Amino acid sequence: MADSLSAAVSRFGASLKAKLSGKAAVGAPEDQLRAPLETLIADLAAILLFKAGDVVAIGETTLSSLKTRPDYAVRASNALVGFIEVKAPGKGADPRRFKDEHDRDQWTKLKIPAEPHLHRRQCLLAVA
C-alpha cells in the first residue's frame, strides 16, 4: 500500500528506470511500462481508500464496436471507469502530435463516445 502519492510515483519511476536502463536484456519499450503501471494503479487505488482488488486494470480489452483494443480497460468496484493507452517512451502523450496513423485513429475512436449516453474516459501514459 502506498503511503502517499509522491511515494507511489517515486516507486513507479524507480521501477521504470530499472526496466528501461538494462543493457543485458532489452524488451519492447512500451511493454516495459505494463508491470510498473499495474503497481501504480494498485498504489493509487489504495491511496484513494479502495479495497485491495476493487480497482482492476484488464489488459488488451477488445472493443469490437470500435474496432480497437486499448492497452487496459479499468474497472472500479465492478464498473467500467475508463481506458488506459500506453505509449512507448519518447512518443509523448499529446494526441495532436501523434505521427503514427494507428495512434491517431485509436485516440479518435476512444475519445468520442460511440453512443451519446456513454462517457468514455481514456488516460494516455507516455514516459519521456
Q: Mean pLDDT, to the nearest integer, of 45-62?
A: 91
Q: How confident is the model at residue 51 (pLDDT cuts 50, 70, 90)?
A: very high
Q: How confident is the model at residue 114 (pLDDT cuts 50, 70, 90)?
A: low
State how far the Cα of 14 lies from the Cα of 35, in Å rounded to an integer: 12
Q: Mean pLDDT, to the nearest integer, of 52-56?
A: 93
Q: What is the per-residue pLDDT for 38?
A: 94
96 phi, psi to nearest 5 deg: -70, -15
Does 116 have pLDDT greater than 70?
no
Interior/surface letters 12-45, b for 16+ CB within 10 angstroms, e for the rest: beebbeebeeeeeeeeebbebbbebbeebbbbbb
Q: Are the beta carbons of 16 and 29 closer than 8 angstroms?
A: no
Edge-first strand order for the sheet with 55-59 is 55-59, 72-76, 79-87, 122-126
